[in-house]
Amino acid sequence: MSPRKPNLESSIYLGADGWWHGRITMGVKNDGSPDRRHRRARTETEVRRKIKELEQQRTDGRAPVAGRKPTVEAWMTTYLTTIASLKLKPRSLDDYWSKTRNDIIPGLGKHRLDKLAPEHLERLYADMLAEGHAPSHVLKVHRILSRALKIAHRRRMIVENVATLVDPPTVDETEANPFTMEEAKAFLLAAAKRPTFMRWLVGVGMGFRQGEALGLRWKYVDLDAELFHPHWQLQRLTWRHGCTDPHACGARLHHFDPCPPECRTHKGYTRGCPARCPKGCVRHASACPERRGGGLVFTRPKTKKSRNPVPIPPPFIPFLRDHRAQQDDSRAAAAELWEEHDAVFARPDGRPIDPRVDWEEFKALLDEAGISDRRLYDGSRHTAGTILNELGVDMPTIMEILRHTQISQTRRYVKGRSTLSKDAMRRVGDAFLPRPQPPTETKTETVDSRAARSRRRRRIR
Contacts with 263 (C-beta within 8 Å, 6 or more apart), sequence order: 273
Continuous segment of H or E residues that includes residue 230: none
Cα-based distances in Å from 206 to 167, 220, 323: 39, 16, 17
Residue type at 365? L
| Strand ordering across the sheet containing 34-41 | 11-14, 20-28, 34-41
More confident residue, 83 or 272: 83
What are the angstrom distances between the C-alpha of 78 and each of 83, 151, 158, 287, 307?
A: 7, 11, 15, 25, 32
pLDDT in tens, 383-411: 999 999 888 888 999 999 999 988 888 88
- Those residues with Cβ within 8 angstroms of residue 251's Cβ, 6 or more apart along the chain or in another chain: none
Q: What is the pLDDT of residue 420?
A: 62
Residue 1: predicted pLDDT: 46
Check residue 429 and give its pLDDT.
76
Contact criterion met (CB below 8 Å) for 44 and 53: no
Q: Name the 3-class secondary structure at 40.
A: strand
- Give me the percent of the chain exceeding a pLDDT of 70: 90
Question: Higher model confidence: residue 458 or residue 403?
Answer: 403
pLDDT at 31 over 80: no
Asked whether the predicted pLDDT for residue 450 surpasses 80, the reply is no
Element (H, E) at 353: none
Task: Please write the tens of the pLDDT for every residue from 285-340.
Answer: 888 989 888 889 998 888 888 999 999 999 999 999 999 999 999 999 999 999 99
**Distance separating alpha carbons of residues 25 and 41, to the nearest angstrom:** 18
For residues 105 and 282, is the Cβ–Cβ distance under 8 A? no
Q: What is the mean pLDDT of the chain?
A: 86
**Residue range 433-449, pLDDT digits in tens:** 766 666 665 555 555 67
